[in-house]
Amino acid sequence: DTGVSQDPRHKITKRGQNVTFRCDPISEHNRLYWYRQTLGQGPEFLTYFQNEAQLEKSRLLSDRFSAERPKGSFSTLEIQRTEQGDSAMYLCASSKTTGVLNYGYTFGSGTRLTVV
């Protein structure tokens, strides 16, 4: 098991362009989470999936953001019409959850987005 993989590691894009990030979770983990982290801050929750179902979205996730997990395996996070305020580290995490027990998240190394 190689842990949680995120691709790309870095992305520089022009304002107004669309970007898509990919996350491959640990294979036996049923939950997948997306967080955003800006400089000097802790990660902020964006959304999470249980298998292929998106169960919760933060109000931080504007309608320019969309996330999918089509087959309950990898996930993509797309940002449309990027703005400079979208510049941040986007972190993916996965966890194995049984009922209300969660054994802790495993985070990927993140995708750093710079919007110029």
Partner 1 sequence: AQSVTQPDIHITVSEGASLELRCNYSYGATPYLFWYVQSPGQGLQLLLKYFSGDTLVQGIKGFEAEFKRSQSSFNLRKPSVHWSDAAEYFCAVATGGNNDMRFGAGTRLTVKP
Interface with partner 1 (CB under 8 A): 4, 6, 33, 40-45, 48, 55-56, 58, 91, 93, 95, 97, 99-102, 104-110, 112
Residue 21 Cβ vs partner 1, minimum distance, rounded to whole Å? 13
* CB nearer partner 1, residue 17 or residue 92: 92
Q: Which is nearer to partner 1, 74 or 80 (CB)?
A: 74
In whole angstroms, the minimum distance from the beta carbon of 75 to partner 1 comes to 15
Contact (Cβ atoms closer than 8 angstroms) between residue 27 and residue 1: yes
Nearer to partner 1, 5 or 76 (CB): 5
Cα–Cα distance for residue pair 96/60, rounded to 1 Å: 25
